[in-house]
Structure 1
C-alpha cells in the first residue's frame, strides 16, 4: 500500500466484500469529476513483472520506473492500485501538476512508485516518506531509478527516503525543514492511504497540517472500497477544499479470487480554504 503505516497489523484482503461497501453515487458537490481518463491509459496501464521486479512504463513520456517488491514482508513492500492510477495521472498532466521548480513529498510511499515517477518527470527534489520498516526497500528502488542520472552528474539527494509516521508533528517538522532549504513550490502526493479506519485520524492530522498550516496542496488517489472511507473525506471538507479531479470506474479481476468486480478509483486535490 502506498500508506505503509499499517505494517504492524495483519494484512487484510484488499478487495474483500463488506456490508458497508458503497457505490459511486455518493459524490458530494465538491467532488464532481472534472475529467474521465481513458480506460487503456489508467486502469489497464502497462505494468510488467520479472521475478520480484516490476516495470512501470510511462504512457506519455519516454521512461520506465523499476520497482522491487517483497510481498511476504507485508503491505509496505508491494504496489497498490491507486499508486499506478495516480502515477499515470501525474505523467499525463505533468505540465500543470509538476511545473518547473516543483518539489514533491510522498506520504505512505510504500515501494515509492508515485514519487519516483515525479522524479522521472523532473521534479526538483522528491522525498519519499513512510515508516522505518519501509526504508530499506525504498532505498533499493531509489538506487534502481537514479543510478544513471547520478552518473550523469545530477544533484545529489534529489530523491531521498525519510521516516514520517502519520500524526507525528516531530516527523513532519523534520521533513519540512529538510525541503525548505531548497526553495520552490512543494506538492504532496499520496495513494491508497485511506484504508484502515483506525488510521483515518493520524493520516488526517498530517494532511491537515500540510494543507492548513503549511499551505501545501495534497493530491490523493483512492480506491473506493467501503462507506466508512467517506468519514475521512468528511473530516477533510471541514477544514480544506476537497476537489475531485477524476473518477475511473472499471471491471477488474480480483487478484485473490480471480472474480471480476467493479473498481472505482478517484483522485482528489486538497487545498487550503481562503
Structure 2
C-alpha cells in the first residue's frame, strides 16, 4: 500500500477537537517541546517534541494520553520484562521469553515512550550490565516515513535509545524485518480517524497478533463512520472493554473508548465473555 496521508483528504474540520481536560492547552502547540508527567506516574516527566509540519500525528492526542496513563497506573507490572522477576540461576536454566512491544501509529511516540520510562522507573536492580540487559524490553514505536525523524528525536530526548527503536510500518504492507513476530503487547491509540485505512489497520493487527499477544486499543469516536472499524475488528478479534480504569468516567464523556484485542479462540474451546454492545448514536457492533 502507498503511504496514506490523511492531511490531504477531506476530513471534518472538527474531527480532531481535543478536550482540555485530557490534553492541556500548553501541550497543543504546533511546534516545540512539552513535558508530560501523567499525573505524577513517572519519576521524571516525558519530554516530547511536537511538530505538525509533517502531519497531525506530530502532536498529543487524547486517546494517547488515556492509554499511557492507564498502562502506567494499572498495568505497570505487566510491562516489566519477565526476566526481572526470576533469579539469575533460573534465567540460565529456564530463560523466559523476552517481552516485546509494538506501538502502531505512534506519531511522536507518546505511549511507547511513556511505557519505556515506566519500565525504567520500575527497575530497582543495580545498574550492572547484566541487570540492564535483563530489564531491557525492546519497544518498537512505528508510523509512516514523515513521523520517523520525530520519533527518533523523542527517543533521544528521553535517553531511551537502548530500549526503544523507531521504525516505519505502513498498515496493510508486509511487516518490516525488525518488527518482532507476534509481540507480547501491541499498543494503538488514536488510530481510528481515516476510514480508507480501517481494513489496512485490521490486516496489520492480524499479522502482528499471536496466540499470547494482547493489544491495548484506545480511540476517540469522532464521527459515525468510526464505529465501522470496530465492527471489522470484532470479526477478527476477541474484544473486551477495559473496566478497571479509574479515569473511565471522565474520558467516556469525551467519546473515548479503551479495549483489549486478542485473537479469537478456535471453535470448540472455552472463550471469554463477549464484548458488550457499544451503543453510539444508535449504532451497535452487532
What TM-score does the superposition give when structure 2 sets the normalisation length? Answer: 0.68
Q: What is the RMSD computed on CA atoms of the aligned residues?
A: 3.0
Q: Does 1:117 align with 2:114?
A: yes
Establish whether residue 133 from structure 1 lines up as the match of residue 146 from structure 2.
Answer: yes
Structure 1 residues 221 and 14: CA distance shift in structure 2, 3 A: farther
User: Could you say which residue in structure 1 is the equivalent of 2:231?
Assistant: 234
Alignment of 1:208-223 (within 5 A): 208-211=206-209, 213=210, 215-223=212-220
The match for 1:38 is none
| Residues 47, 56 of structure 1: 8 Å contact kept | no
**Count of equivalent residues:** 222
Contact 1:125 1:159 in 2 (8 A): yes
Matches within 5 A, 1:188-199: 188-199=186-197
Distance 1:71 1:244 in 2: 32
Structure 1 residue 95: Cα displacement: 3.5
Alignment of 1:89-104 (within 5 A): 89-101=70-82, 102-104=99-101
1:79 alignment partner, SS class: coil
Give the 3-state SS of the residue equivalent to 1:268 in structure 2: strand
In the TM superposition, what whole-angstrom CA distance separates every residue of 1:166-210 from its partner, at most 9, and x where no partner exists?
011243x54125xx8xxxx62010100011000001011011222
- Alpha-carbon displacement from aligned partner over 1:101-150 (angstroms, at most 9, x marks no partner): 3322100110000000110111612111111111111110000011xx6x
- Change in Cα spacing, 1:56 to 1:190, as seen in structure 2 (3 Å) is same
Alignment of 1:122-201 (within 5 A): 122=119, 124-146=137-159, 157-171=162-176, 173-176=177-180, 186-201=184-199
Greater RCO structure (CA 8 Å; 6+ sep): 1
- How far residue 75 of structure 1 moved from its aligned partner, in angstroms, is 1.2
Report the equivalent of 2:8: 9
Whether the aligned pair in 1 keeps the contact of 2:143 and 2:170 (CA below 8 Å) is yes
Quickly say closer, same or farther: Cα 1:138–1:7, change in 2 above 3 A. farther
Match of 1:57 in 2: 37
Aligned-pair distance for 1:219? 0.6
The answer for unaligned runs of 5 or more in structure 1 is 18-41, 150-155, 252-261
Match in the other structure for 1:83 = 64
1:37 paired residue number: none
What TM-score do the two structures reach when normalised by structure 1?
Answer: 0.71
2:42 counterpart SS class: coil
SS at match of 1:199: helix
Q: Residue 172 of structure 2 contacts residue 204 of structure 2 at CA under 8 Å; is this kept in 1?
A: yes
Residue 267 (str. 1) matches residue 248 (str. 2): no
Contact 1:106–1:128 (8 Å) recurs in 2: yes
Q: Separation in 2 of the partners of 1:250 and 1:125?
A: 30
